[in-house]
Amino acid sequence: MQTNNKYLVYGVVIVVLIVVAVLAISKYNNASKQTAQPNGKNLKIAQNMAVPPAAQVTTIASAQIPSLMPAGLPWEDNAQILQNSEVKDPSTGKTHVSRSYISAKSLDANYSTYQKFIQTDGWVLSSSVNQPTVKNLVATKSGNELSITISSNTQKQVTVSVVYSY
């Protein structure tokens, strides 16, 4: 069981890093402009040909809730923390704070809890997924984004991942 948790931690960290990398690449690609040519075709002109700087990842102690997370998030007491970090992306200027943990609650109970938080804390729900083995809530507030993913693996272990981007 301990080995499975180790692989789960690695998997969650890899997923978070991939999401940050995709966001950085997307932002970098959007930095190019299109300009109309006399023949009517568009030509992309790169504004900056330099390679974007690498994201800065800071691991936060698992006993500590990241200080930059929105106040009032309904964290589960005594949960096993899988990942707790802050990623600063210099190419976008955004910071992504994340915390993932194994929950003793069901997928539906977690979904309901976080959905209620979003509704009562003034967030605007921009998308949601409510499937049997994965649930996701994405909300915005004051230009910032909160993404909550709740999933279940083959051993019926429920994982909650919260990412706050500002």
Q: Which of 45-54, 79-88, 136-145 has the lowest mean pLDDT?
A: 45-54
State the average pLDDT over residues 54-69. 90
Q: Give the residue from 97, 98, 90 showing the smallest Cα distance to 24.
A: 90
Farthest-apart Cα atoms in the chain, separation: 65
Alpha-carbon torsion 148, 110, 124, 131, what sign?
A: positive
Q: What is the pLDDT of residue 120?
A: 96
Q: 34 or 12, which is more confident?
A: 12
Q: Based on the number of CB atoms within 10 Å of its own CB, is 84 exposed (0-12), middle (13-18) or buried (19 or more)?
A: buried
Q: What is the pLDDT of residue 154?
A: 84
pLDDT above 50 (res 83): yes
From residue 75, alpha-carbon distances to 3, 11, 90, 151 in Å are 25, 21, 29, 16
pLDDT > 70 fraction of the chain, expressed in percent and rounded: 69
